[in-house]
Structure 1
Amino acid sequence: MALEMALRAARVRYGPLEALHGIDLPVPAATLTLLLGRNGAGRTTALRALAGAVPLSSGSVLWRAADVTRLPAHDRARRGLCFVPDRQAVYPSLTVAENLELAAVRHGAALDAYPALEALLARTAGTLSGGEQRMLAVSRALLSPPGTVLLLDEPTQGMSAPVAARTYALLAERAAAGAAVVLAEQHLPPALARPKVLIHELRRGTLTFTAEATERA
């Protein structure tokens, strides 16, 4: 299994508190990877470290074997990394259409992924419900170019069960098509308890369990 990215002995500190305690985290290419754990386990911090949204206090971030530890988040994005955080993932003062245009996402393609967005194109993103904002935010990851790295923090929060199931199916399709997809979730979604889905369980900033999702379900 070829590696797309990896954290190596990664430590992250927020002031006096250490959120990641020297973890090694592989991100295979063409694979859907889940980071599981309760709030405070370190899964969000691991995503942010991969994205360059937080600096490492020690350790390294590798991307296709190159050390990108000091590469800023915007340069990682230019190289093909798409990070969808759990909060503030849309521009609230812009319309849905303008959010899609900024992400270079075609309206028609976004509507194929989430038809419910069509009626919302003229609305400002800040007036949408939580689930509608997640659809808007996730659509840019789903429609990013092939071979990219997709990092999504709790992508289906606020979505209805059918829309969440469709989102997981679409993300699995992106992984099957070659993208390295990493999701942070509190629990294993039943829709992803399938072969070729890799899970890493974190607890208090350490990696405690790694397996295929079928072994954890």
Structure 2
Amino acid sequence: MSVEMALRAARVRYGPLEALHGLDLPVPAGTVTVLLGRNGSGRTTALRALAGTVALSAGRVEWRGADVTGVTAHRRARRGLCFVPDLRAVYPGLTVAENLALAAPGDSAPHAGTPYPELVPLLARTAGTLSGGERRMLALARAFLAPRARVVLVDEPSLGMAPPVAARTYRMLAALAADRGAAVVLAEQRVPDGLPPGSVVHELRRGSRASSGEPAEYR
């Protein structure tokens, strides 16, 4: 299994506080990697470090073996990285249709292929008027519609979703890895069901990797 991206001895500081303490984190292609931990464990910061939205104070970020530590977030996005944060994941002043169009430029009707039919009646509404679960669907729909997503990073995928929608979401994330060969990384507080074979879980504690194993070991 090839490594798509990796953090190597990564350290991140927020003022006097160090959020990542020399974290080594391989992200394989074609499967799902789960970053497990409580709030403050470093899960979100690890995603941001991979995405390039937070700077490292030490260490490096690699993409297919090349050092991309100095590559900006928007250039990583152009290379095929899609980051769905837990907050501010949609453009609230744009309509649902406009948010979807950003994920699939050139597509005259990206909503026709949205994996969430629940969004179709809401196309004319601004994203800022949606419920929490609807915003989450919209944010993830943009990730699923991205034509060349090689790395998909999602912080708390099922936040605010009803259980049936959450289950469907995890099936679609698994398909991104299994069918498209994408490297999918999820930040979670518990291990979700429906992960594809070969998925790996890394438990983070206080900015370091405490353990790693298969999903069944953490349920």
Give me the TM-score of the superposition, normalised by structure 2: 0.95
- For residues 53 and 210 of structure 1, the distance between their equivalents in structure 2, rounded to whole angstroms, comes to 25
Q: What amino acid does structure 1 have at the position aligned with 2:112? A: G
Q: What amino acid does structure 2 have at the position aligned with 1:167? A: T
How far the C-alpha of 1:60 sits from its partner, in A, is 0.3
The yes-or-no answer on 1:181 pairing with 2:184 is: yes
Aligned to 1:76: 76
Aligned to 1:129: 131
Percent sequence identity is 68
- Asked if the contact 1:146–1:179 (Cα under 8 Å) also holds between the matched residues in 2, the reply is no
| Matched pairs, number | 214
Q: What amino acid does structure 2 have at the position aligned with 1:102? A: L
- For residues 28 and 147 of structure 1, the distance between their equivalents in structure 2, rounded to whole angstroms, comes to 14
Q: List structure 1 segments (4+ residues) > 6 angstroms apart after TM superposition.
A: none
Q: What amino acid does structure 2 have at the position aligned with 1:91? A: Y
The yes-or-no answer on 1:43 pairing with 2:46 is: no
Deviations 1:129-187 (A, max 9, x none): 00000000001111222551000000110000000000000000110020000000111
- For residues 190 and 66 of structure 1, the distance between their equivalents in structure 2, rounded to whole angstroms, comes to 33
Q: What amino acid does structure 2 have at the position aligned with 1:188? A: V
- Asked if the contact 1:196–1:213 (Cα under 8 Å) also holds between the matched residues in 2, the reply is no
Give me the TM-score of the superposition, normalised by structure 1: 0.96
Q: What amino acid does structure 2 have at the position aligned with 1:66? A: A
Change in CA separation of 1:126 and 1:147 when aligned onto 2, cut-off 3 Å: closer
For structure 1, which runs of at least 5 residues remain unmatched after alignment? none
Change in CA separation of 1:82 and 1:147 when aligned onto 2, cut-off 3 Å: closer
Q: What amino acid does structure 1 have at the position aligned with 2:89? A: A
Aligned to 1:199: 201
Aligned to 1:3: 3
The yes-or-no answer on 1:163 pairing with 2:165 is: yes
